[in-house]
Amino acid sequence: MAAKVYDFFKGSFLTNDDALKNWRFILFAAALAMVMIYTGHSFEKKVHRMAQLTDQVSELRSEYLDGQDQLMFIQMESRVAENLKNSGVGPAEHPPLKIVVRSKMKDK
């Protein structure tokens, strides 16, 4: 038993007659480990990108709501009248008149 352990640590399993199948397995395991490491890194990169995009979406949403609030404040009638007061434009004193056009239809 001790001889087998000693041979294992010495690396004789890589140089004996059956070493080809051991090398194939070692290379397969190494390739599989590299694929697993690559997919793990790729997954982490995607998770970080998703978190970044989520933060960006929430920031843009808050900017949109701020802009919407500002627009509603600017569009208020009292605010528009105040801004146009210096130019001489003001609210109408009389309501607008509705013009109705009646056309005579000829019977055919």
Q: Distance (Å, rounded) from C-alpha 68 to C-alpha 74?
A: 10
If one counts the domains in the chain, the total is 1
Note whether residue 90 is domain-resident.
no
Angle of helix 19-74 relative to helix 77-84, nearest 10 degrees, comes to 70
Note whether residue 44 is domain-resident.
yes
Note whether residue 79 is domain-resident.
yes
Note whether residue 77 is domain-resident.
yes
Write down the pLDDT at residue 106: 65
Residue type, 69: D
Note whether residue 59 is domain-resident.
yes
Note whether residue 33 is domain-resident.
yes
Q: Is the pLDDT of residue 60 over 90?
A: yes
Greater confidence, 86 or 14?
Answer: 86
Note whether residue 92 is domain-resident.
no
Q: Is the pLDDT of residue 16 over 60?
A: yes
% of the chain exceeding 90 in pLDDT: 44
pTM of the full structure: 0.53
* Boundaries of domain holding 45: 2-84
Note whether residue 18 is domain-resident.
yes
Q: Is the pLDDT of residue 48 over 70?
A: yes
